[in-house]
Chains A and B, each alone.
Chain A
Amino acid sequence: MNLQDHDKRARSAIFSRLRGASAGKPVETPDVAAYFRERAQPAAGESRRERFMRNASNWRAEIVECGEAEWPARLADVIARKNLQRIAVGRNTSIGWTLSAMLPAERLFWYEQDLAEVKAELFNHIDAGITTTIGGVAETGSLLLWPTPAEPRTLSLIPPLHIALLFEDQIHETLFDAMREHQWAQRMPTNLLLVTGPSKTADIQRMLVYGAHGPKELVILLVSRKAQEAAL
C-alpha cells in the first residue's frame, strides 16, 4: 500500500473513532476579550513605555532611547560601540537607506538573495542583523516581528546580535490587544514572531545562559515620534 492510501485509511479510521464518540457537554466559546477587560489592570503609576522598558530589560534586552530624528545617530553609536564590522539588513527599507548613507558599502550585507546562497555568509561572517518591528508588548517586554521578503525571518535569528527598531506608539499593552488591533487572524504572514530578549537556555544544571542558538544580544532602538514628544 502506498503512503497516500495509508494516510487516507488512517484518516478515515481516526475520524470514525472521533465522530463515533459522544459529543459530551457543549462548551461555550471562550471569551478572551472579557478576561482581559475584567482582570486587574496595570498599575497607574507606571507608563506603558516604562512597563515595556522594565520588562524588556529584565530579559536582558539593551534599550537605546531616541527621538525620531536621532535614531540613525544612535544606531551609529551602537555599531561603533559594539565594533560591528558586517551588518545584515534588508534593502529598500528605512533602515537600509539610512545605513547606506552612513556606512561604507563593504560593511553592509544586503539580505536579498535566497537563504541557500547566503547561508555560509550569514552563519559565519555577519556581526549583526537589523530589523524593523510592527510593535511591542508592554506586559512582557516583547517585540512583534512580521518578517517580509525584504526582511527575512532569519535576519533576526542567525547573526549573533539582533538590533530592532521599535516605535513607542506601536507598543501595545498585551499580546491580545496587538492581535485584535492588527486583525492578525484575517491575514497571517508565513511567520509571525514574539521575541523577548536574546535566546537563552537553562538546560545545564538550571544555570541561565544567554546566546543558545539564536542571537546572544538584543538591542532595541526605542523611538518616540514628534507628535508624541510634542504631547509630552
Chain B
Amino acid sequence: MNAPVVIERPGPATPKTAGAPGGAHREVHARPEDFKQRSHESVNDPHLRSSFRGAMDFLIERRAVHFSDLVAFETLRKLGEQVRQHALSKLPELLDQLEAKLTELGVHVHWAETPEDANRIFLDIAQRHEAKLMVKGKSMVSEEIELNHVMADHGIECLETDMGEYILQLDGDRPSHIIMPAIHKTKQDVAEIFHEHIAGAPLTDDVNELIGIGRKALREKFGAAKIGVSGVNFMVAETGSIVLVENEGNGRLCTSVPDVHIAITGLEKVIDKLEHVVPLYALLPKSATGQAVTTYLNVITGPRREGERDGPREMHLVLLDNGRTQAYREERFRATLQCIRCGACMNHCPVYTRVGGLSYGTTYPGPIGSIISPHLVGLKSTRDLPTASSLCGACGEVCPVKIPIPEMLMKLREAGRHSITQSMTPPTQALVGQGEVRAISEAMAWRGWRVLYSHAFLYRLFAWFAPRLRWLTPAWQGGWTKSRTPLKPAPKSLRDMMADRDKRRR
C-alpha cells in the first residue's frame, strides 16, 4: 500500500462552539444525559458535519482497501474473535497467570475497582518519587479515570504526548474519536492553539511545521519527566508482556526514557499466548486507520534488566475494573469486552458521523461506546446512547472481532426499560440502572395495548370506534410529531375491509 499523503481541502475552521459553547476552555465534564441536546446542536453545525463526514469517508475507504477480499476478512476476523473469546473464557485464570509472570519480572501489579482507586495508585507512586511531571502516551483508560485532571488537582502535570491529544490538552478540549482524537480540529485551529500556548511558536498552518513545533516542545518534556504513563493494546499472559501499537514514537519515549513507567488498562485486555498478538495486530491498524501496519509494535517485558542502559527502573501495571466485571458476569453482554478499540464501528456509523464524538459525553463514543458506557457509568445516565443507532448493522459488519453490536444495543434498550422481573428474558443479574429508563406513560400505553389486544370484546369495540372517531386524533402527539406526521387510525379497519370484500364476492 502506498503511504497516503492526503491533502484535505482547507475549509473553514471548526467553530469553537462545537458541542457545548464556551470558548477555548469549554465545559470539561460533558454528560451523557445531554446526548440529545448536544447531538441536536451538532447536527445543525455544518462545519462539524462536513469535517466528520470527510474524515469518516476517508477512513472507510482506507480500510476497505485492505479488506476488499471479504472471504479473507471473514477468516481473519473469526480468528481475531476466537483469540478474544478464548481469552475471556478463561479470564480469571489468565489474569492470575499474568500477575504471577509480571511479579516474577519485577513489575508491580495494581488492581483498581473504580477510577478513584486507580487515581489513588497513580498519586501514591507520583508522591513517592516526588514527581511533578508525567509524560503520557495515548490511553483511553486514562481518559476514563480523568487522570490528567485528578493529577492536576494535586499539583502534578500529566502531559499528553500523542500529537492529537496534546493539541486537545492545550486547548482544554476532549477527544472526539478514540483513534484520531483531534479529528474535529482543522490545521488553522491547531495553528492558533500552538501560537497561543507554546512560547515562541510562530503562527503557521503548514502541517509539517506544526508537527515540528509540537515535536520540539514535547522533546524537552520526555527528558525531564520522572514518570512515563502509557495505555496497553494487549497483555500477554504467557510471557507477562505489554504490547503497544503506535505510529508517533511517543509511546516508545514514554516507556523508555523516564525512570518509572506506569501502564494502565482495562482488565479485559489480556490474551493467552504471544502468537495470539499476530492476528489482532493484523486486524487493528487496518480497521482503525487503514494502515497495513503501524510504525511501531512495542513489546515490553518487565523493567530494565541488569546491565541495560535505558528503560524504566520501576514498572507498574494498573488493571482497572470500572464496570467491566459487570459486563463479564452477564453472558449476553460479555462480548462487549472483546473490543480491541480500533474505532471502525464509529467510522462506519451513520449516527456518529452526523453527531460527532463529543455529543456522546462519554469516554468512548460511537456504537462501541454506547454498549460499553452503560457498564462503566450505569444505564440511567446513558439511557439515550443505545438508541443512538439506526440499527443498520454497519458496526457489526466491520467489527474486527465480530462483536454483535446491534444486538447488544437492542438488549441494552430492553434492560433500560425493564427491571429483572419485568423482562421477557430475565437476566441472571441486574445491570446498574436496570429498568431505570422505564417511563410510566410508555409502560401504561403498552399495558393498555395488551389489555385491548387480548380481550376480544374490547378489541372489537375499539376497532369499531377508532375509524369512526379518527377526526378526534390530536395533531400534537408528543415526541412522535416533532418530526413526523400525526398517527391516525385508518378510515376503515382491516376487519371491515375484509367483510366488504367477502360481501362483494358473494
Q: Show the binding face of A for B, using Cβ within 8 Å.
A: 3, 6-7, 10-11, 13-15, 17-30, 32-33, 35, 38-40, 55, 58-60, 111-116, 119-120, 123, 140-142, 148-149, 152-154, 157-158, 174-176, 179-180, 184-185, 188-209, 211-215
Task: Report Cα–Cα, A193/B296, bound state, in Å.
Answer: 7
Task: Report Cα–Cα, A3/B295, bound state, in Å.
Answer: 38
Q: A123-B223, A207-B7, A213-B218 are in contact. Are A200 and B296 (CB under 8 A)?
A: no
Q: A10-B117, A179-B274 are in contact. Are A190 and B248 (CB under 8 A)?
A: no
Say yes or no: B112 contacts A10, CB within 8 Å. yes
Q: A7-B110, A18-B91, A58-B3 are in contact. Are A207 and B75 (CB under 8 A)?
A: no
Q: How many residues of B contact A (CB 8 A)?
A: 106
Q: Which residue of B lies closest to A137 (CB)?
A: B293
Say yes or no: A204 contacts B185, CB within 8 Å. yes
Q: Identify which of B88, B96, B120, B295 contacts A59 (C-beta below 8 A).
A: B295
B111 at the interface (CB under 8 A from A): yes
Say yes or no: A212 contacts B272, CB within 8 Å. no
Total CB contacts across the A-B interface at under 8 A: 273
Q: Please, could you name 26 A-B residue pairs with CB atoms under 8 Å apart, sorted by A?
A: A14-B111, A17-B328, A23-B89, A24-B89, A27-B86, A28-B82, A29-B273, A30-B82, A32-B275, A32-B279, A38-B75, A113-B309, A123-B222, A140-B292, A142-B297, A152-B310, A190-B304, A191-B300, A198-B295, A199-B249, A200-B295, A205-B207, A206-B6, A207-B6, A208-B6, A214-B252
Q: Which residue of A lies closest to B241 (CB)?
A: A188
Extra A-B contacts (19), CB below 8 Å, given A205-B190, A211-B212? A18-B92, A22-B331, A27-B86, A28-B86, A55-B292, A140-B292, A152-B309, A152-B310, A175-B297, A176-B278, A184-B274, A185-B275, A190-B311, A191-B298, A193-B252, A194-B297, A196-B293, A206-B6, A207-B5
B146 at the interface (CB under 8 A from A): no
Which 9 A-B residue pairings sit nearest by Cβ, starting from the closest? A214-B249, A203-B164, A212-B248, A199-B249, A194-B297, A115-B310, A213-B249, A17-B325, A203-B163
Task: Report Cα–Cα, A194/B182, bound state, in Å.
Answer: 26
Q: Identify which of B88, B278, B303 contacts A190 (C-beta below 8 A).
A: B303
Say yes or no: B211 contacts A32, CB within 8 Å. no
* 8 A Cβ contacts from B272-286 to A: 272-276, 278-279, 281
Say yes or no: B187 contacts A207, CB within 8 Å. yes
Q: A30-B276, A113-B309, A214-B249 are in contact. Are A154 and B257 (CB under 8 A)?
A: yes
Say yes or no: B211 contacts A211, CB within 8 Å. yes
Inter-chain contacts of A208 with B (CB < 8 A): 3-6
Task: Report Cα–Cα, A55/B219, bound state, in Å.
Answer: 29
**Residue among B110, B223, B252 with the highest chain A CB neighbour number at 10 A:** B252
Q: How far is the CB of A117 from chain B (nearest CB, A)?
A: 9
Contact with A along B63-95 (1 / 0, CB 8 A): 000000000100110010011011011011001
B414 at the interface (CB under 8 A from A): no
Task: Report Cα–Cα, A149/B257, bound state, in Å.
Answer: 15
Q: Which residue of B lies closest to A3 (CB)?
A: B124
Q: How far is the CB of B248 from chain A (nearest CB, A)?
A: 4
Task: Report Cα–Cα, A175/B276, bound state, in Å.
Answer: 11
Say yes or no: A10 contacts B215, CB within 8 Å. no
B485 at the interface (CB under 8 A from A): no
Q: A22-B331, A179-B278 are in contact. Are A35 and B289 (CB under 8 A)?
A: no
Task: Report Cα–Cα, A18/B327, bound state, in Å.
Answer: 10
Task: Report Cα–Cα, A99/B262, bound state, in Å.
Answer: 37
Q: How far is the CB of A195 from chain B (nearest CB, A)?
A: 6
Q: Which residue of B lies closest to A183 (CB)?
A: B274
Inter-chain contacts of B185 with A (CB < 8 A): 204-205
B121 at the interface (CB under 8 A from A): yes
Inter-chain contacts of B289 with A (CB < 8 A): 202
Say yes or no: B223 contacts A119, CB within 8 Å. yes
Inter-chain contacts of A203 with B (CB < 8 A): 162-164, 167, 180-182, 248
Say yes or no: B250 contacts A213, CB within 8 Å. yes
* 8 A Cβ contacts from B337-367 to A: none
B321 at the interface (CB under 8 A from A): yes
Task: Report Cα–Cα, A195/B273, bound state, in Å.
Answer: 21
Inter-chain contacts of A197 with B (CB < 8 A): 3, 295
Q: How far is the CB of A187 from chain B (nearest CB, A)?
A: 9
Q: Identify which of B86, B190, B241 contacts A30 (C-beta below 8 A).
A: B86
B370 at the interface (CB under 8 A from A): no
B380 at the interface (CB under 8 A from A): no
Task: Report Cα–Cα, A24/B259, bound state, in Å.
Answer: 42
B196 at the interface (CB under 8 A from A): no
Task: Report Cα–Cα, A113/B308, bound state, in Å.
Answer: 9
Q: Identify which of A21, A113, A174, A212 contacts B247 (C-beta below 8 A).
A: A212
Inter-chain contacts of B76 with A (CB < 8 A): 35, 39
* 8 A Cβ contacts from B171-220 to A: 180-183, 185-187, 190, 207-208, 210-212, 215, 218-219
Inter-chain contacts of B58 with A (CB < 8 A): 206
Q: How far is the CB of A121 from chain B (nearest CB, A)?
A: 11
Task: Report Cα–Cα, A186/B248, bound state, in Å.
Answer: 29
B39 at the interface (CB under 8 A from A): no
Say yes or no: A193 contacts B298, CB within 8 Å. yes
Q: Which residue of B lies closest to A195 (CB)?
A: B296
**Residue among A22, A140, A204 with the highest chain B CB neighbour number at 10 A:** A204
Say yes or no: B303 contacts A204, CB within 8 Å. no
Inter-chain contacts of B183 with A (CB < 8 A): 206
Q: How far is the CB of B54 from chain A (nearest CB, A)?
A: 8
Inter-chain contacts of A15 with B (CB < 8 A): 92, 95-96
Say yes or no: B293 contacts A149, CB within 8 Å. no
Inter-chain contacts of B207 with A (CB < 8 A): 204-205, 207, 209
Inter-chain contacts of A211 with B (CB < 8 A): 211-212, 215
Inter-chain contacts of B7 with A (CB < 8 A): 207
Contact with A along B6-27 (1 / 0, CB 8 A): 1110000000000000000000
Task: Report Cα–Cα, A189/B306, bound state, in Å.
Answer: 12
Q: Identify which of A19, A40, A58, A176 contacts B72 (C-beta below 8 A).
A: A40
Q: Which residue of A lies closest to B214 (CB)?
A: A212
**Residue among A141, A193, A194 with the highest chain B CB neighbour number at 10 A:** A194
Q: How far is the CB of B326 from chain A (nearest CB, A)?
A: 8
Inter-chain contacts of A28 with B (CB < 8 A): 82, 86
Q: How far is the CB of B194 from chain A (nearest CB, A)?
A: 10
